[in-house]
Amino acid sequence: MQIRIGYALEYDHPAPTPMVLMLTVHPSRSGDLVVPALLACDPLLPVETYCDQFGNLCSRVVAPSGRIRFSAEGLVQDSGQPDPVVPEAVQHPVQELPPETLVFLLGSRYCETDLLSDFAWNTFGNTPPGWGRVKAICDFVHNHLQFGYPFASVERTAWSALNEGRGVCRDFAHLAIALCRCMNIPARYCTGYLGDIGVPPVPDPMDFSGWFEAFLGNRWYTFDARHNVPRIGRIPIAYGRDAADVAISTTFGPGTLKTFKVWTEEVTDSYELPAHLRSRRVA
């Protein structure tokens, strides 16, 4: 299967403003890029690309005063298979975990393991370790939180999501991540594309999606506490401890997001990159 992905973001700044953008498909999927979704700027800007401490590709620019538009479109080859389900995947003792996974056991900006530890052990201490425990956590979060776009808040953490009982996809992921970490299961946040492939389409505007991965059986497995069913066509952009590490844009000065569009859909016909993007691809 081939999936068309892309975005169009427009910002307005009162003065020249440094920005870091995290919008490039994660390097783990670079081999699947039929047409890379390269950043295009209007007006044209110099762009510096670097890799952060989590292996994500970042673009660094200085946006001019006034309007600036960032956009991209590309084509990704995908297996067309849903997220794997591996009930036999084991949970590793902490002393046997690879060193690079240990940071994903710690508390972070949106995942307060210190506040949630007692609740986690009281609630999930008797669940089977490994896949069954992560699944039990996803089932709980999925049933406990009410999803709604009006509930979006940059201030909501895992602890406040638990107490408020509502949130958006990032809140579902944060709460599940924090509960996994409390149970000594490394868990990391993921943001990326997830379209309505293989499921009934929803009328809401497309957005980037947030889910998480848990380290079991010597590898990372995808879990999604919001949807709580295997999905087709996930295209990751960035991994981190929580949403603070994977913001689509970080602006070092005042500015306003004026336009936000995301698209991801299966392509069944021949594909050609739009002309306006061919002329302004810079990274």
For residues 182 and 146, membership in a common domain is answered with yes
Q: What distance lies between CA 199 and its chain's CA centroid? A: 20
Cα–Cα distance measured from residue 243 to residue 67, given in angstroms and rounded to the nearest whole number: 26
Domain count, the chain: 2
CATH of residue 192's domain is 3.10.620.30
Is 87 within a domain? no
Query: Is residue 47 over pLDDT 80?
Result: yes
C-alpha closest to that of 222 among 37, 92, 85, 129: 85
CATH of residue 6's domain is 2.60.40.2250
Cα–Cα distance measured from residue 121 to residue 133, given in angstroms and rounded to the nearest whole number: 11
For residues 132 and 171, membership in a common domain is answered with yes
Check if the beta carbon of residue 167 is closer than 8 Å to that of residue 156: yes
pTM over 0.75: yes
Is 240 within a domain? no
Is 7 within a domain? yes
Residue 93: pLDDT band with limits 50, 70, 90? very high
Query: Is residue 276 over pLDDT 80?
Result: no
For residues 115 and 156, membership in a common domain is answered with yes
For residues 71 and 149, membership in a common domain is answered with no
Is 238 within a domain? no
pLDDT tens per residue across span 219-266: 999 999 999 999 999 999 999 999 999 999 999 999 999 999 999 999
For residues 10 and 64, membership in a common domain is answered with yes
For residues 112 and 10, membership in a common domain is answered with no
Could you tell me the residue range of the domain that residue 271 belongs to?
2-80+246-278
- Taking phi over 0 as left and psi of -120 to 50 as alpha, with beta for the rest, 167 belongs to left
pLDDT tens per residue across span 53-88: 999 999 999 999 999 999 999 999 999 999 999 999
For residues 60 and 168, membership in a common domain is answered with no
pLDDT tens per residue across span 12-33: 999 999 999 999 999 999 999 9
Strands of 219-223's sheet in order across: 219-223, 209-216, 187-193, 235-240
Phi, psi of 81 (to 5 degrees): -95, 145
For residues 58 and 125, membership in a common domain is answered with no
Q: Can you give the C-alpha Rg of the chain in angstroms?
A: 19
For residues 226 and 100, membership in a common domain is answered with yes
Phi, psi of 266 (to 5 degrees): -70, 140
For residues 218 and 170, membership in a common domain is answered with yes
Cα–Cα distance measured from residue 70 to residue 6, given in angstroms and rounded to the nearest whole number: 11
Q: What is the mean pLDDT of the chain?
A: 95
Query: Is residue 269 over pLDDT 90?
Result: no
3-class secondary-structure state, position 77 = strand
pLDDT over 70 for what percent of the chain? 96
Query: Is residue 275 over pLDDT 90?
Result: no
Cα–Cα distance measured from residue 5 to residue 33, given in angstroms and rounded to the nearest whole number: 10
For residues 49 and 112, membership in a common domain is answered with no
Is 189 within a domain? yes
For residues 62 and 150, membership in a common domain is answered with no
